[in-house]
Amino acid sequence: MLWKLLREHLQEAQRLLPLGTTGTFTWERKMHCVALCSFLWLCHHLYYTQAVPIRKVQDDTKTLTKTIITRINDISHMYSISAKQRVTGLDFIPGLHPFQSLSDMDQTLAIYQQILSNLSSRNMVQISNDLENLRDLLHLLGSLKSCPFDEADGLSSLGNLEGVMEASLYSTEVVTLTRLQKSLYGMLQQLDLIHGC
Amino acid sequence: MAKILPCFLICPFFSALTDFIRMIIADDTAYQIPPWNFTLSCFPPNKTDEFHWPSGAPKTSSVSDEDHQSTDTSFNLHDSHPSTESFYCCLWSKHDKNPSMCANSTERKTFVSPTAHSLAWTQRGVSWSIQCWVKMDLKILICDLESSFKNSAETLKFQAHLSYVLSEASQEDSPMVSQKGDFQVVQCNCSRSEDCECQVPMPIAKLSSTSLMYLEITNGVLFLQSPLMSVKLINIVKPDPPLRLLMEITDDGKLKISWSSPPLTPYQLRYEVKYSVKSTETRAQQIAEIVLDTFLLVGNVLPGSSYTAQVRGKRLDGPGAWSDWSTPSNFTTPEVIYFPPKILTSVGSNASFYCIYKHRNTIVPSKNVFWWLNLAEKIPPSHYDVMNAHVSRVTLLNMNATKPRGKYAYDAVYCCQENECHHRYAELYVIDVNINISCETDGYLTKMTCRWPANTVASLAGSMLQLRYFRSSLYCSDFPTTHHASDPKDCHLQMDGFYECTFQPIFLLSGYTMWIHISHSLGSLESPPTCVVPDSVVKPLPPSRVNAEVMAKTGLLNVSWRKPDLPENKLQFQIRYAVNDHGELWKLHQAYGSESTSASFQVLDFCSVYIAQVRCKRLDGLGYWSNWSNPAYTVVMDIKAPTRGPEFWGIVHEDPMGKERNITLFWKPLGKNHSLCSVRRYIVKHYTESNKTWAEDTGNATKVTFPWTELAHTVTVVAVNSIGPSIVNFNLTFSWHMSTVNSVQSLSVHAVNSSCVVLSWIIEPTEYTLMYFVIEWKNLDEENGIKWIRVSSNVKKYYIRDHFIPIEKYQFSLYPVFLEGVGKPVMTNTIPREDTMKQENDPGLYVIIPIVISSSVLLLGTLLISHQRMKKLFWEDVPNPKNCSWAQGVNFHKRVDVL
């Protein structure tokens, strides 16, 4: 069925664009071209959907989220962090808030990734890489579901934050990882609930 | 634009006055020295029209056109009549593109006061051809002067001086302002006929430096001075000639003339190549081409031809001088040309060779060319293509790997005419590049290690292997390709012959496409790309906290574990267990389900120590099995009371005075199959004829002695473990009466060998109930060497397995044990010698005896033959009558006749 549709569109395209034609397009022809392009995009989308099942992407997203949570748990100095103690002055680190969409998740993760990339240690680099993969998965999931995706802004400029991080490296790391872990837990629950975008 | 200050008429004492001359010279007022030859022409003013200008020179505009690239100066013969006797000296060049640079220079006259007349000069004028250049090291500026006078005698009269001043600033940057006193003077060497050479040392010159200079020439009569000359050194630098001129035939059959630019060239060069070819088909003809690269490709190469080439260089941008020609290079093309001469390719690919074949001074038509492989196999003509009249092509399809033949790691491809092949051949290297790259991600999911065998392309000596990779953001494409921007990865050779590379940190779900790039002087190859997602090649950490125990109630072996923290994927587990002894026979079980944390197995031997291990792998089958966990061992626990008590035996020790008898009981420790699974202590229970009973706890001891005081004394040994005492136990009654009852008629002992003795006996019937026999044996040379064994009552012969020392004496006793008590034993003492057995059984005898017999027969035969031989010898030799008494007086001549 798909091939039949494709063949029809290709024939239409050949009819509209004969070799050596240099004349101007009519509005109707332009519409046909748009339809053809849309169809080709659809074909590509369907092919890709078939190549990477959405179920696999969802599973990988959850598994990778759990993996990052476990990684944070396994960092030695995270064992003894008191949940009661509140650290002030690190407001640029996102707090826990309910995610509205896949795009929202991506936005939040982008900020975490940006902060982690400034915390230079092997653990942080690995978690930053995981976040990049996780964001890629969210993008893929979004594209498979045809969800609108906003370009992640991240922190527009770290500015003085670099100075804050440099002076309070340990605090920044602990707070970032703690909040990231909570965000990931929230994301994990949300992924089960979100069936759309 | 600055202008030249008014020129002065100078008195005959030139040197005294010039120091005060101040000149401000601008770029456009001095003659710009070109990188090629230019001419200094001096002539009297009345001869300007008649002066013989060389062809191409701006004859009419030389003194009148201000725009001409010519500068003239008038020279006065007399200081009192400067305007009538002055010489004009002009600098000009026939190669100048803009002849309008020449200007009337009457204002720039330099006055010279001659000391004598020179008719030739004054009448005809004089010219010098000049060329100036700077060597590339900028250490010296050279100007060569060649006089138009061909008479060397006149030339020798010359004296030339070059005055110069060097400025670091570019003329474009700022006008050059110099004083006459700033000029330095060098004397030119005019010793050579017709020529002078002026060498100006420039120790601090740079390419951007500029020099002002002028020439002073005198023959003793006239004193001539050139106009002021200016030169920017970069414009007259003469490069060194190119180096390492080489010629070779390229892979596409062209002649490549290549060279190296001279070292430390500060600017880009262009080159002129001249080459000639000489062959039977063509005459030697010289061809010159200008190129910007350091090579020139020449097509239509002919076999058996001789090529000669030279190259020179010149500054690419702006003016400059051509270098000298390089040393000529010669190259003779072979009679058969293969292109490419060598091919390196991979298995399964196609390769084509081209060939031009000259045979006996005639190029073989391509349609007559045949191709052979290794001089052993003719390549089918269907693989040939006629490219043109002389070029033939062969294409080998879907090739297999080259099998090295001795030291030859290639296939030799020959271009032949019928069955005649030239000895030259092309080399074909077909390499199997299917290199398997295997990767493994560690259990922490932070590191991926990839390995690949190093010996894959061992046949290609001199090759360099490098792993290259690129990363896709997510997953792998279905068809990985190497056509992508890639990075190299450092890999290290391991002891096991594999290269190992590590990616850390990793992108778990990214696709790492990697391949091996093989670099060789013949070319480069790439192995088929492999794409790996680190998440799919995880080797998890083994399960932890593994525990194994045998459940007392169920008799099941229960193994429990804790799954590793990572990966978060669902896992499957394998459990193996075995009895812990040497050479475990493992039993393997599979446990599916990520949540599994334990498994139970039915085991037969409850009382053994079991060893158990667990490993895990992703449930979806991706990745690898983890290593086996650390072993866990079961602890043996009693599961039931002992099934029976130990078998025991007693020895009666009688006081020599006959007043006291003691019984020593001893028993073998109860096996775990009966003790289930251990014995904590043994209890000996006593029952006497007078109904006395008591129990004696012997602990773990297996021997106890007690006095035998009553006529009958019955004992039982009970084994006790943590569950309770043994229920079924053996009894033994020692009775005074029964100790005299004998039921064994005879007992004989035969030694089979040092480890086996056979006992046989004959029973005679008695009124008592015979339960079993006990055979007891001991080494009489040892005190505590009593051993015993219980034998069924229906057995008549028994083989005892033990280590018997043949020279020592043993006592064997056979006790009948009746229900009523232990009977009277039959004893025999024997030395278990096995001499007889040995003689019968020793295989050495069967070998040695025939050898001894054979040797004896052989010796006897030898003696007999020797005897006969000696006899003959003695009879044939004539005895010496002096040494032999019996021969004295015997006539041996007669004896010989008789013989």
Residue-wise pLDDT for A133-169, tens only, equals 999 999 999 999 888 888 777 666 566 677 777 788 8
CB contact under 8 A, B478 and A51: yes
Q: For B35-58, what is the mean pLDDT?
A: 64
CB contact under 8 A, A67 and B508: yes
**Residues above pLDDT 70, as percent of chain B:** 80
- Is residue B69 predicted with pLDDT exceeding 50? no
Instruction: Residue A133: list chain B partners with CB under 8 A.
Output: 473-474, 507-510
A122 → closest Cβ in B505, B509, B535 = B505
Residue B469's pLDDT band (cuts 50, 70, 90)? very high
Per-residue confidence (pLDDT) for residue B192, from 0 to 100: 64
Taking the complete model, does pTM exceed 0.80, yes or no? no
- Is residue B730 predicted with pLDDT exceeding 80? yes
Chain B: give the shortest CA distance to residue A91, in Å.
Answer: 29
- Is residue A23 predicted with pLDDT exceeding 50? no
Identify which has the larger pLDDT, A44 or B168: B168
Considering only CA atoms, which of A92, A130, A126 is closest in space to residue A111?
A92
> Which residue of B lies nearest to A53 if distances are taken between CA atoms?
B475
Q: For B571-596, what is the mean pLDDT?
A: 87
In B1-125 the beta strands, taken as DSSP E runs, fall at 22-24, 31-32, 38-43, 71-75, 87-92
Q: For B127-133, what is the mean pLDDT?
A: 87
CB contact under 8 A, B567 and A63: yes
CB contact under 8 A, A133 and B565: no
CB contact under 8 A, B505 and A60: no
- Is residue A85 predicted with pLDDT exceeding 90? no
Q: For B623-639, what is the mean pLDDT?
A: 93
Instruction: Residue A51: list chain B partners with CB under 8 A.
Output: 478
Q: For B159-170, what is the mean pLDDT?
A: 79
Chain B: give the shortest CA distance to residue A31, in Å.
Answer: 33
Chain B: give the shortest CA distance to residue A20, in Å.
Answer: 33
- Give the count of beta carbons closer than 10 Å to the beta carbon of residue B752: 16
The answer, for B473 touching chain A at a CB cutoff of 8 Å, is: yes
**Residues above pLDDT 90, as percent of chain B:** 42
CB contact under 8 A, A129 and B508: yes
| Beta-bridge partner residues of B289 | B273
The answer, for B506 touching chain A at a CB cutoff of 8 Å, is: yes
For chain B, first and last CA: distance in Å? 148
CB contact under 8 A, A126 and B506: yes
- What's chain B's average pLDDT? 81
User: What's the ipTM?
Assistant: 0.76
Residue B181's pLDDT band (cuts 50, 70, 90)? low
CA–centroid distance for B745 within its chain:
86
Q: CA B299, CA B526: separation in Å to the nearest integer?
A: 31
3-state secondary structure of A150: coil
- Is residue A115 predicted with pLDDT exceeding 80? yes
Q: Which of A49, A59, A63, A74 to mutate to test the interface with B (most CBs of B within 10 A)?
A: A63
- Sequence-separated (6 or more) residues with CB below 8 Å from residue B774: B649, B788, B789, B790, B791, B814, B815, B817, B822
Chain A: give the shortest CA distance to residue B473, in Å.
Answer: 7
Helix, strand, coil shares, percent, chain A, to 5: 70, 0, 30
> Which residue of A lies nearest to B471 if distances are taken between CA atoms?
A133
Chain A: give the shortest CA distance to residue B727, in Å.
Answer: 57
| Beta-bridge partner residues of B147 | B128
Q: Which of B503, B568, B570, B571 to mutate to test the interface with A (most CBs of A within 10 A)?
A: B568
B510 → closest Cβ in A51, A70, A133 = A133
Residues of A with CB under 8 A from a CB of B: 51-52, 60, 63-64, 66-67, 70-71, 73-74, 122, 125-126, 129-130, 132-133, 136-137, 140
Residue B7's pLDDT band (cuts 50, 70, 90)? very low
CB contact under 8 A, A67 and B505: no
Q: CA B394, CA B800: separation in Å to the nearest integer?
A: 87
Residue-wise pLDDT for A24-47, tens only, equals 344 455 445 545 555 454 444 444
Chain A: give the shortest CA distance to residue B420, in Å.
Answer: 54
Identify which has the larger pLDDT, B445 or B123: B445
Instruction: Residue B620: list chain A partners with CB under 8 A.
Output: none
Residue-wise pLDDT for B270-289, tens only, equals 999 999 888 776 666 678 88
- Give the count of beta carbons closer than 10 Å to the beta carbon of residue B870: 10
- What's chain A's average pLDDT? 75
Per-residue confidence (pLDDT) for residue B785, from 0 to 100: 78
Considering only CA atoms, which of B548, B657, B581, B567 is closest in space to residue B620?
B567
Residue-wise pLDDT for B834-874, tens only, equals 554 444 445 555 556 667 778 888 888 888 887 777 666 55
Q: Which residues of B90-111 are buried (b: 16+ CB within 10 A; e: fewer)?
A: bbbbeebeebebbbbbeebbbb
- Whether omega before B505 lies within 30 degrees of 0, making that bond cis, reads yes
Per-residue confidence (pLDDT) for residue A155, from 0 to 100: 67
CB contact under 8 A, B446 and A126: yes
Chain B: give the shortest CA distance to residue A129, in Å.
Answer: 6
- Is residue A50 predicted with pLDDT exceeding 50? no
CA–centroid distance for A22 within its chain:
43
Identify which has the larger pLDDT, B781 or B244: B244
Per-residue confidence (pLDDT) for residue A4, from 0 to 100: 38
Instruction: Residue B445: list chain A partners with CB under 8 A.
Output: 67, 71
Residue-wise pLDDT for B486-512, tens only, equals 999 999 999 999 999 999 999 999 999
The encoded tokens of residue B222 equal 């006239």
Identify which has the larger pLDDT, B109 or B812: B812
Per-residue confidence (pLDDT) for residue B120, from 0 to 100: 59
Instruction: Residue A140: list chain B partners with CB under 8 A.
Output: 474
* B677: exposed, middle or buried (Cβ count in 10 Å: 0-12, 13-18, 19+): buried
Please give the radius of gyration of chain B, using alpha carbons only, rounded to the nearest integer.
Answer: 60
Question: β-strands B229-232, B31-32: how paired?
Answer: parallel
DSSP letter string, B400-426: PPPPPBTTB-SEEEEEEETTEE-S--E
**Site of tokens 């996102």:** A94
User: Which residues numbered 529-548 in B keep a CB inside 8 Å of some CB on A?
Assistant: 535
Per-residue confidence (pLDDT) for residue B899, from 0 to 100: 35
> Which residue of A lies nearest to B504 if distances are taken between CA atoms?
A126
> Which residue of B lies nearest to A129 if distances are taken between CA atoms?
B507
- Sequence-separated (6 or more) residues with CB below 8 Å from residue B187: B159, B160, B161
Eight-class DSSP state of B227: P
- Is residue A175 predicted with pLDDT exceeding 80? yes
> Which residue of A lies nearest to B564 if distances are taken between CA atoms?
A70
* Angle between helix A27-51 and helix A122-144 axes, rounded to 10 deg: 130
CA distances from B289 to B259, B276, B310, B311, B765 (A): 14, 12, 11, 9, 133
